Structure 1
């Protein structure tokens, strides 16, 4: 197994641990009536949430290796499998009981990941012209404006819409990281619009996902987030960045991607414990 694949799996493990810790913090924090950046300030006062963010940062750093060397559709599907990690952790540490459907979903995720690993070929860093990098940052700003505009929508619709926007924020992180200038240097990051898109997308994703979890059903918010952070980046990777599978294994990669995402969405209720 390549270092990039190991890095992607390690990233999913970190995100799974982070999700458990952040959900504990979010449940104990006062909810917001709209998309309010002050929610992050309140969450910063919760030790479990802060430790969870630390695992998020670790997961992102580990994922850099994968995002630079694997197609986006592979990495984003593996990252979404963190929900399977959360479900297993719930059994191991919180004495939760998984039903037949949940165990089947975990098996589907594992099968999907195996197929993705088998079909994935090395890509190397992607290239994107400067206007495209600015477009990524502009998309992040547009995402923030849309989130502010619909932030007061409540109930299931609010959880669905805000969760989907959170997924697009996380997806922006994946796309922007994929196209960071190579090699990555401090001076390069400071002058690369894609680097700012990474930061903006990450902050928006965390804020919007926490808001979505407080707005409606966990399954609704998590399923929307998973869909947003997998399908959109996968399309960008294939259509814009030229991502592909190994020759002759396109169908295998597509089936693996579909299985991994479907299993993750089925485990959506573990987006918050």
Structure 2
């Protein structure tokens, strides 16, 4: 799951950078992104990661699964360095190491257990959250630069967090008919689509690392709280301190990445390339072809 999400983040960011920047909350962006083969491959990787995460939520607490999704950011950064010549400052490298340390602590603290089912009030709350996030996205899409990237990424994280909350009890449904008839399935799909649109808009405006880190930071806390309070998520007895430290370290790392992430946007690279080409001296005409026949 971590590897799949890391590759998906990288490929989708490249496709988003090659698409005209949108200043409205227009679902047509997803259709335009789908015109890029790179985005489709990234979307396939994200679907694989989503499926693996869905299966993991059947037995693992949300504070572990959602924090592990954040670890995909480390894979994205590593692939960016190797393939796209990204430059990561030392502070960001240290934060990535801290991120994986926090995930390791959560793995040791989490106790597998099936989820409790959500009541009617909780399902209505998930529906209301969908409207709130979408409405906030309409206004946040007007923001530009790093601020727009972080705000839109945070809204995407909230939407994906709600999708994770819906997925945890849905993964325990026993039959196909009950699975298809469960309203949580459609809430899961709706939140995922809105989150995908917000993430695409965030990646168009600034650093990929900042957008994904903001998404992970905003998505981890609500899902963890709901999981512990309503879904029956468990921690091994005596390891509560380890879970608390691991979650805090992971959260600090992803928030820190939003502060230290350098602009790695492909539009900036293209602009630098255009300027370099404009500085080149004009090509000299070929005198052999321009010769005039004199009498």
TM-score range, shorter chain: 0.7 to 0.9
Q: Distance in 2 between matches of 1:99 and 1:146?
A: 32
Q: What residue is the counterpart of 2:49 in the other structure?
A: 59
Q: What residue is the counterpart of 1:43 in the other structure?
A: 33
Q: Kindly provide the CA deviation profile for residues 173-209 of structure 1, in whole angstroms up to 9, marking residues without a partner as x.
A: 1111002163354322332111111101111111001
In the alignment, is residue 212 of structure 1 matched against residue 205 of structure 2?
Answer: no
The CA RMSD measured in Å over matched residues stands at 2.3
Residue 81 of structure 1: how far off its partner (Å): 1.0
Q: Distance in 1 between matches of 2:33 and 2:56?
A: 29
Residue 107 of structure 1: how far off its partner (Å): 1.8
From 16, 21, 34, give the equivalent of 1:26.
Answer: 16
Q: Kindly provide the CA deviation profile for residues 105-151 of structure 1, in whole angstroms up to 9, marking residues without a partner as x.
A: 22212211211111111121332123422432332233223322443
| Structure whose alpha-carbon radius of gyration is higher | 2
Q: Distance in 2 between matches of 1:139 and 1:166?
A: 12
From 122, 125, 145, give the equivalent of 2:115.
Answer: 125
Q: Kindly provide the CA deviation profile for residues 19-49 of structure 1, in whole angstroms up to 9, marking residues without a partner as x.
A: 1110110000011111111111110101100
Structure 1 spans left out of the alignment, 5+ residues: 1-10
The 8 Å contact of residues 137 and 194 in structure 1, kept in 2 or not, is answered as no
Residue 263 of structure 1: how far off its partner (Å): 2.4
Q: What residue is the counterpart of 1:88 in the other structure?
A: 78
Q: Distance in 1 between matches of 2:148 and 2:86?
A: 28
Q: Distance in 1 between matches of 2:174 and 2:264?
A: 34
Q: What residue is the counterpart of 1:166 in the other structure?
A: 156
Residue 270 of structure 1: how far off its partner (Å): 8.1
Q: Distance in 1 between matches of 2:81 and 2:138?
A: 37
Give the paired residue count: 263
